[in-house]
Amino acid sequence: MDIRLKVVSLVAVLLIGVILGLLTAERGIYKIEGLPEQQLQQPQKQSFYITKVDNGKMEVAVMGQKATATQEKKSNYMSRVGISLGQAVRGGTQAAVNWMSSFFQP
């Protein structure tokens, strides 16, 4: 089979797949948020929003269901190891750059 025919058929199949994927995604959005004609008649509703209620507290609403969340600063063993490892890499890199730049100073 000619290579041009293979390339054209592959591009055609991929194009059809992209178009079908876009149509499926659009249909899913319309299921969640409604049709554009319905949105003009009704006030705009969001499917997901976050509002800050108080210091460190937030109100989250997903599809009309409300929940309150608080921000807590948590630190566990792995986060402490990651922070110390990052500081060690940063310090080593800074030392290497300073050592290499010392060769170029007059």
Domain count, the chain: 1
Residue 85 lies in a domain: no
What pTM was computed for the model? Answer: 0.37
Q: Could you tell me if residue 93 is inside a domain?
A: no
What's the CA gap between 77 and 81, in Å, rounded? Answer: 6
**91 within domain boundaries:** no
Q: How far apart are CA 47 and CA 65, in angstroms?
A: 10
Bridge partners of 68?
Answer: 59
Is 100 among the domain residues? no
- Domain assignment present for 106: no
What confidence category does residue 74 fall into, taking pLDDT thresholds of 50, 70 and 90? low
Mean confidence (pLDDT) of the chain: 81
Cβ atoms 35, 44 nearer than 8 A: no
pLDDT at 63 over 90: no
Residue 95 lies in a domain: no
What pLDDT sits at residue 29?
Answer: 86
The model's pLDDT over 10-62, given as tens digits with 9 standing for 90+, comes to: 999 999 999 999 999 999 888 877 776 665 555 555 666 677 766 767 777 77
Closest CA to 63 of 32, 37, 39, 34: 32
Question: 33 with 47: CB under 8 angstroms?
Answer: yes
Range of the domain at 30: 3-74
